[in-house]
Amino acid sequence: MPSNGAEANNTSLGEEYFSSAQFSYRSGWNDQIMLTKRAYTISSLINTFTAAGLRIETTIEPQLSEDDRRRYPHKQD
């Protein structure tokens, strides 16, 4: 079973990241409910919030813990 949208769609991570197409998936808490949404890029979210008056002073990229780096080396890469 594919582990992410890129594998499932046979596309690159970049194509998936910049895609504005809607996608649907079954809810994790009720498999009879189908959720539909679209992904947003970080820049589109920042631009939306900036236009609404948000001022960002600092950002920090999340990092995997040492345990998760060992468990998921492909995500660390």
How do residues 16-56 score in pLDDT, each as one tens digit? 788 888 888 898 999 999 999 888 888 888 999 999 999 98
Residues 6+ apart with CB under 8 A from 25: 34, 35
Residue 68 CA to residue 20 CA, distance in Å, equals 29
The whole-number pLDDT of residue 35 equals: 92
Q: What is the pTM of this model?
A: 0.47
Average pLDDT, the chain: 83
The whole-number pLDDT of residue 5 equals: 67
Q: Is the pLDDT of residue 77 over 70?
A: no
> Which DSSP symbol is given to 4?
S
